[in-house]
Amino acid sequence: MRPSKTGKKDPPRIPGIWPVALCLLLSGAGGLMLEVTWTRSLRLVFGSTTLAVSTVLVAYMLGLGLGGVVGGRLAARVRNGFKVYGWIEIGIGIYALGVPTILGLFPALNHWLLGSLSYWPAVLARFALALLVLLVPTFLMGATLPVLVQALERGRGNVARCTSLLYGTNTLGAVIGVATATFFLFPTLGLAKTNLTAAFLDLLVGGIALLALARNLPARQLPSQLPEADSTGTTSRTRTWLLISYSLVGCTALGYEVCWTRALTMSFGSSVYAFATILIIFLMGIALGSLIARLWIDRVQAMSRIYGFGVALLGLTALASSALLDTLPQLVVEVLMKQGVSADSLIYAGIKTSFLAMFVPTLVMGALFPIVVGTLSKTGQPSGRAVGDAYFLNTIGSATGAFLAGFVLIPFLGLSQSMAWLVALNLLTAAGILAFDSRSGRVWRWLPAAGLGLAAVLIVISPPTLDPGKMTLGGYYRPMTGHSFGISVEPVAGHPVDEIVFYEEGMNTTVSVHRTPSGLALRLNGKTDASFQDISTQILLGQIPMVYGPAGRRTMVIGMGSGMTAGSVVTHDPERIDILEIEPAVLRASRLFDDINGRPLDNPAAHVVLDDARNVLTAIEEPYDVIISEPSNPWIAGASNLFTRDFFKIAKSALQPSGTFCQWIQLYKLDNDGMRSLLAALRSEFRYIYGFRYQAGDNDLVVLARNEPLGRDGLPDWSTLPEKARRDLGRIGISSTADLLSLMILNPDDVDSLTENVSPNTDDNMYLELHTPRLFYDSSLDALDGPQVVRKGVLPILERDFSSDLTARVALSHLWLRDDLPYARELFTGAAATGESDALTIARAELLLRDTPEQWRDALAILESIPGNGEADYLLYYSRAKLRFDARQEFLAALADVDRAVSIRPQGWPAHRLRMNLLIGMQRWEEARAEADLLLASPWIDFDWKIWSDAAVLAAILNDPERGIEEMGRFFERSPFAAKEWNWMALTLDSMGRSDEAREAGDSRDRIIRNEKRYTHRLARWHELRGDVPQARRLLQQLIAADPNNQAAREDLARIDRM
């Protein structure tokens, strides 16, 4: 040894350590590439439930641990560890080449083996299969580190220093492997070729080890007996406690990771890039912690004491981290605002928040491994065995911690308490280590131990609390909603903007239900997945596959959500409906929607299945008539597995030959290429694809996939639908066959044209999962309505099977309900080419009115030329009455027309609503009130919530203000921020002598008016941030015109004008 500048002797150099470290860097990269590839592949077979993923993780870590313990014992018995290491790496590479073939056998094996098993036997069978696949390569991976440490150390007494470098370098390689696989190899090569790349990398490392390391580095002399223990070393009892304690450290480390992952995905999303970012920062902290320990570890004398304080430090830094968790969602929004709202900024925000949450504790984790190995080596154990034993017990503890955190701690205690218990376990472990340290005096042993024990108790009793409102902010998804832009809004009494009425941290996701101005909203990890705002999509997902095609006797709904889709299915009285849900907490949350979802869970035909869709569909015994798949978005890891060609193949195999598969496609956050790839995946497995949408410009597409075309008998007929189904459809304004047919916007020929020469989204290429997160903040997306999309929709089917009269009625539905003027014109042109009809004449008048509203008299003349005959009568009288009312002319004639309309179709709710409006305009209050009562009891109330406020006004006019106040309260349940209605409430309460309540209502009115201006100001700043300066300027000018004294808006406008 040569003296250092401080006078102390530097530790001896270790010959060959840097070439070995380079090999471990490369093998660490290859190993993690294989891990993420294999874990994903097995998840596709076994499912994405937390239990399925955990079984794979446990199998993986068990293999690593067994490899470590056996490798540690083998290392002491071989002369040339470098040669053994080389053959191990070659073995890993060769096995990796065969893994795709092995996994290719699993779907059939999964069906054969698991199809007849109940839940827990199936879980154990999956674990056995995962272990069967992973045991050999993970065993070999686990053996590499102890073999190399033993080969390099050669009894020089520098085990800890050698371990810190090799372990840190290997883990740093793992960081490179995760980043390379996720951000480069998966997008460019796909899953199978990434596996091939990693396999060749391991073969390369093995070759280097055999040809360079084994030949150029000296083999060691085998000792005749084990070295004696350090005379000042640890006792056997302490050694045992060190190993047990390090297993507990592993348990808390992976427990922390599970908790951090849950909190961080709520902060910046659950995409594949988010999970990779979290894993990268976690591993990087461990790697750097181990490498930094190398700088000082050989100079440490009281290693056990340092280890004990290190475990305590891990717990305390994790405690500090837990206190930060509910600030991270807002931090992500702040980063996006500062860096610019883009996909790259979101990744940067993920790195920053992951760093804040995990980096310091993971540094400590990384330093603890070489400390433990160094302490154990002083007992006389060979260095390889010390590494192997520590590695084995730590990995077993890690697997246990991951399992406990996901299945016990978070679901039963919640995130905050889970972190507290893990911290307490660290502190108690540290107390035990210090207490068992025989080299320390009593004061150094028992005083810190007692203090740490007391701290553990206090932390469990009073853990840091996390604010559910902050945790479920979801600002990464819609940054504008999560940022105030320095402009605060005032709460309206009794009507919070976002009130949490349900919050549960489940096994797979955090579920919350929020009362918002537009009604209840279900959120998963902070992202809204179902709400009253998208009731139309949820109802159509349940109704369209039941009214198009054969009856759905046996039906499956994948994803419970709010329960509205399942509720729509049960209106058709199926013999059996299986509701498949991956997260039990969602089922409990859906109960809050029972008033609007039809209570499907209480239906005797309903059966709940808690499992992954791919698992269940692979193992079914009796095929379904209808399968409805409504998972969350394809950018979400796990859910993305239900948007691939491979999944659609599984779904097809679970259907009757004449069965129907229904898929929800979220057009928001999806570009034209993504939509085409998804449709191509469906088209690859099903011959006939049909697309449906509620209104023009909607961001939701409902797709039916079949292997038989929809003939005339397969198209809906309103008159044959069950009354319950008609009421359900009436909630979204549908009241006729034409309304149902107008929903179809894509026919099979349209889809064939869209998917020609398009590569489908598959399990292997992961196109949507990797592509769609990049589209988060792209405001130019136009997946279905862009100029590149040519579609004929339902027109060819109408021309083939029906008269021009029905085509014209569908055109009217597109005008009145779908708000799709261009397609209404196309339908009109198609109908006109095949002959005249009354409905066609009505459509002609309506189109004239749309083009030139001032020519309403000419349009009315066209309508009056129709004698009135047959099915078109309702349309004629309704259209004529509507025209007269809109023109504020001839109310008596309009009333006569609408009376005829409702006599023809008593459940023609649009006509009843028009009749109510006419009667109000004519001040025939009692008749208008009777019409309001009819509408309040109809399904139309869900479609037109404003009926409540109109009914309230009528009640007050008819001297029943108490009833009016009550009905206006119902209106405020879904529309609480309506200034006009609050003004009415204030005036009515004042007239009743309820002055205090009147003042509160007036205050609410004033706050709403002020808030509207503030929201406009926020929107202007948002557009300025996004670079849309002209729109920001327009909004500011409008705001100043409405509020000339708004100095902040004037300053913003002046700043923009100077740009």
| CATH classification at residue 72 | 1.20.1250.20
- Residue among 808, 893, 900, 793 nearest 847 (CA): 808
Q: Which residue has the tokens 């790259």?
A: 344
pLDDT digits (tens, 9 = 90+) for 972-1004: 988 888 999 999 999 999 999 999 999 999 999
- Dig out the tokens for 1004 from the structure: 């609410």
Kindly list the distances between the CA atom of residue 956 and the CA atoms of 82, 327, 673, 933, 945, in Å, as whole numbers in the listed order. Answer: 92, 48, 55, 14, 18
Last-in-domain residue among 473, 488, 506: 473
- Dig out the tokens for 189 from the structure: 């090569």
Q: For residue 327, list its beta bridge partners.
A: none
- Dig out the tokens for 312 from the structure: 């305590």
pLDDT of residue 110: 67
Quick one: 277 and 304 in the same domain?
A: yes
pLDDT of residue 475: 87
Quick one: 299 and 383 in the same domain?
A: yes
What 3-state class would DSSP assign to 524? Answer: strand
Q: Is residue 182 part of a domain?
A: yes
* 856 burial type by CB count under 10 A (0-12 exposed, 13-18 middle, 19+ buried): middle
Q: Is residue 576 part of a domain?
A: yes
Quick one: 284 and 269 in the same domain?
A: yes
Quick one: 283 and 429 in the same domain?
A: yes
Quick one: 448 and 510 in the same domain?
A: no
Q: DSSP secondary-structure letter at 3? A: B
Quick one: 578 and 489 in the same domain?
A: no
Q: Is residue 912 part of a domain?
A: no
Q: What angle do CA 587, 592, 595 make, to 5 degrees?
A: 115
Q: Which residue has the tokens 């649009």?
A: 910
- Residue among 191, 194, 273 nearest 646 (CA): 191
- Dig out the tokens for 580 from the structure: 């498949």
Q: Is residue 191 part of a domain?
A: yes
Containing domain of residue 488, as a range? Answer: 479-522
Kindly list the distances between the CA atom of residue 283 and the CA atoms of 142, 176, 286, 687, in Å, as whole numbers in the listed order. Answer: 17, 10, 5, 46
Quick one: 165 and 275 in the same domain?
A: no
User: Residue 231: how many CB atoms within 10 A of its CB?
Assistant: 6
Secondary-structure percent of the chain, ordered helix, strand, coil, rounded to 5: 65, 5, 25
Q: Is residue 801 part of a domain?
A: no
Quick one: 247 and 372 in the same domain?
A: yes
- Dig out the tokens for 209 from the structure: 């080890």
Quick one: 209 and 321 in the same domain?
A: no
Low pLDDT (below 70) residues in the chain: 1-16, 48-49, 51-52, 110-120, 154-157, 214, 216-236, 238, 379-381, 438-444, 779-780, 785-790, 869-872
Distance CA 306, CA 370 (A): 12
Quick one: 47 and 117 in the same domain?
A: yes
Q: Is residue 737 part of a domain?
A: yes
CATH code of the domain covering residue 250: 1.20.1250
pLDDT digits (tens, 9 = 90+) for 54-67: 777 888 888 899 99
Quick one: 591 and 679 in the same domain?
A: yes
Q: Is residue 117 part of a domain?
A: yes
Quick one: 189 and 240 in the same domain?
A: no
| Length of the chain as a residue count | 1059
- Dig out the tokens for 614 from the structure: 């791919």
CATH code of the domain covering residue 1053: 1.25.40
Q: Any alpha helices (H) in 294-407, and if so which ranges? A: 303-324, 328-339, 343-377, 383-404
Contacts for 155 with CB less than 8 Å, ≥ 6 apart: 220, 223, 227, 383
Distance CA 745, CA 1021 (A): 37
Distance CA 903, CA 416 (A): 62
Last-in-domain residue among 522, 555, 588: 522
pLDDT of residue 216: 66
Q: Which residue has the tokens 């979204």?
A: 732
Q: How far does the chain reach from its first CA to its final CA, in angstroms?
A: 66
Q: What angle do CA 611, 682, 801 make, to 5 degrees?
A: 120
Q: Which residue has the tokens 């409902």?
A: 702
**Domain total for the chain?**
5
Residue type, 151: A
Distance CA 553, CA 440 (A): 75
Indicate the helix (H) or strand (E) that contains 793: none
Distance CA 269, CA 527 (A): 8
Last-in-domain residue among 433, 455, 473: 473
Beta strands across the sheet bearing 527-531: 499-505, 510-516, 519-524, 527-531
- Dig out the tokens for 730 from the structure: 């009436």
Q: Are 750 and 793 in contact (CB under 8 A)?
A: yes
pLDDT digits (tens, 9 = 90+) for 828-843: 998 998 888 889 999 9
Residue type, 909: W
- Residue among 701, 690, 705, 695 nearest 746 (CA): 690
pLDDT of residue 234: 47
CATH code of the domain covering residue 764: 3.40.50.150
Look up the pTM and report it: 0.91
State how far Cα 62 lies from the chain centre: 30
Q: Is residue 839 part of a domain?
A: no
What 3-state class would DSSP assign to 551? Answer: coil
